[in-house]
Amino acid sequence: MKGWSCILSRLSGGRGRRLAELADEVAGHWPHLPALEAQIRETAREVESSVVQVCGAFEGMATRSRDSVAAANQLLGAGQGSGIETVLEASRHSLQQLREQIGRGHQISSQLIDRMKTLEKSAGVIVKALGEIDRIAFGSKLVALNAKVEAAHFGDQGGAFGVVADEIAAHARQSEEITEAVVGEMQQLRATVAATSGELEEMARMSVGTLEATRGELENALGELTRTHGEMEAGLTSAIQGGEQLADDISRSIMALQFQDRVAQRLGHVADELADMRKTVHLPLEYLKLETPVLGAERSKTVGERLAARYTMQSERVAQGGQKPASLPETDGVELF
Amino acid sequence: MRQMVAYTLKQAGFGVVEGVNGQDGLSRLDAQRVDLIVTDLNMPVMDGITFIRQVRSRPGMKGVPVLMLTTESQDSKKQEGKAAGATGWIVKPFHPEKLLATIARVLP
């Protein structure tokens, strides 16, 4: 016997039959309402839990992205003249100083060589002058000889003249000896000056050559470093833009995910209303069931079977059975057959 | 969900052919040879169990691994899938690395 036919005896006519059917229908669905309400609340909880996890992960990504952008900005110097750009600038400054020192060294070497050449030239002039003195001394010796010959012609009267001639000859010989000694010294000086001048020239050539080669290598290295730095800077700038874009995208995603709050509120309102409806319907239904215990029993079974057929998750079936729904399964729920 | 699975597989270097349901999947299998199938259980038009049975009935498809990726964790359903010819059962939500590791295990 159907549940509604039991109470039909208390109602009459078609209207009574429809009311009885309605009561049976309500009584049939009634036992399933708590499970449906629990399903709604559990769904809201799962949505919230998932969104919180997603937002947390997104927040982490956004933070890491911002950290990367800040680190890249610091590496670039961010317009504060720090980082690699500072090192490059210091290197350029050092190179410029080296260039100036090479120029100064070259200038000093040239001056020294010029002075040594002037010294050599002066020594030459002195030697030449000494030759002239030597020639004059030789002339004096000839004059003294001639005077001696003439003094001999005059006999005793030329004696004093002969003494003067001897004195002149002695002075000429002394002058010759001094000149010879000074010429020797001057020639030695000229040789020393010439050798020193040559050595200075050789040293200047070697120093300038070595410094120029070093400067060239430094300039090449600096050029390569500047080029590499330029490429790194471009790469970092691109990475910074990408990172900033990523952080913005993630922030927008986090905002979009806040739909969960609206969903949770709506589901909560529906679940609350279902609970209120149950409270409202509870008393008259209980009254009817007191008089007709089988009211809705058959219909409830049908509704239960329909729900069971519709469910696709074990947690739904558990909730229908009045148990607390199981939490989300772990992600390693893999079974190979 | 299908798009998320496809994204994970593409990121790992796999070529992916997508079907919107079991029937569409069968049509695509008729047009193209595949090395692995990942299917859901609950799908419109044709469910996953029927789809696997259809796949296994096709010549040359008996050895192709079929992984069921579903929210369903009931043992009786798993046994049904196994009987239909599923190679493995993965309960959602899936971890991309675990999915790829499982695929690596079942690929010939």
More reliable by pLDDT, A175 or B103: B103
Please, what is the average pLDDT of chain A? 81
Chain pair A-B, CB pairs under 8 angstroms: 47
User: Each residue of A300-317: pLDDT tens digit?
Assistant: 899 888 988 888 888 888
Nearest residue to A34 via CA among A335, A322, A332, A290 = A322
- What's residue A9's pLDDT? 55
Token code pair at residue A279: 């409270």
Answer whether A331 sits within 8 Å of B82, measured CB to CB: no
Is the pLDDT score of A195 beyond 60? yes
SS3 B79: helix
Is the pLDDT score of A335 beyond 50? yes
Please, what is the average pLDDT of chain B? 90
Predicted-complex ipTM score: 0.81
Q: Per-residue confidence at A45, pLDDT binned at 50, 70, 90?
A: confident
User: Each residue of A219-278: pLDDT tens digit?
Assistant: 888 888 888 888 888 888 888 888 888 878 877 777 777 777 778 888 888 988 888 888
Domain boundaries, chain B: 2-106
- What's residue A94's pLDDT? 81
Domain boundaries, chain A: 3-76+253-320, 84-251
- What's residue A265's pLDDT? 81
Nearest residue to A261 via CA among A58, A55, A65, A114 = A55
User: Each residue of A82-138: pLDDT tens digit?
Assistant: 566 777 788 888 888 888 888 888 888 888 888 888 888 888 888 888 888 888 888
Is the pLDDT score of A78 beyond 60? no
More reliable by pLDDT, A229 or A79: A229
Name which of A46, A54, A312 to mutate to probe chain B: the one with the most chain B Cβ atoms within 10 A of its Cβ.
A312
Q: Per-residue confidence at B14, pLDDT binned at 50, 70, 90?
A: very high
Is the pLDDT score of A331 beyond 50? no
Q: Does B103 touch chain A (CB under 8 A)?
A: no
Find where tokens 């696997």 sit. B52
Name the minimum distance, in Å, from the CA of B9 to any CA of chain A.
17
Find which of B41-45, B58-62, B84-88 is predicted with most confidence, using mean pLDDT.
B84-88
User: Each residue of A118-133: pLDDT tens digit?
Assistant: 888 888 888 888 888 8
- What's residue A12's pLDDT? 61
Answer whether B98 sits within 8 Å of A331, measured CB to CB: yes
What is the mean predicted confidence (pLDDT) over A20-49? 84
Query: What's the CA gap between A223 and A228, in Å, rounded?
Result: 9
Answer whether B71 sits within 8 Å of A317, measured CB to CB: no
Query: What's the CA gap between B50 and B52, in Å, rounded?
Result: 5
Provide, rounded to the nearest whole percent, the portion of chain B with pLDDT above 70: 100
Say if domain B2-106 classifies as CATH 3.30.43.10: no
Is the pLDDT score of A163 beyond 60? yes
- What's residue A17's pLDDT? 76
Chain A residues in contact with B88 (beta carbon < 8 A): 334-337
**CA torsion angle B46 B48 B50 B54 (round to 10):** 100
Task: Out of B71, B87, B91, name the one closest to residue A336 (CB).
Answer: B87
Question: CATH says A84-251 is which class?
Answer: mainly alpha
3-state secondary structure chain A: CCHHHHHHCCCCHHHHHHHHHHHHHHHHHHHHHHHHHHHHHHHHHHHHHHHHHHHHHHHHHHHHHHHHHHHHHHHHCCCCCCCHHHHHHHHHHHHHHHHHHHHHHHHHHHHHHHHHHHHHHHHHHHHHHHHHHHHHHHHHHHHHHHHHHHHHHCHHHHHHHHHHHHHHHHHHHHHHHHHHHHHHHHHHHHHHHHHHHHHHHHHHHHHHHHHHHHHHHHHHHHHHHHHHHHHHHHHHHHHHHHHHHHHHHHHHHHHHCCHHHHHHHHHHHHHHHHHHHHHHHHHHHHHHHHHCCCCCHHHHHHHHHHHHHHCCCHHHHHHHCCCCCCCCCCCCCEEEC
Query: Which amino acid type is present at position A276?
Result: D
Find where tokens 């919180």 sit. A52
Q: Is the Cβ–Cβ distance between A275 and B35 less than 8 Å?
A: no
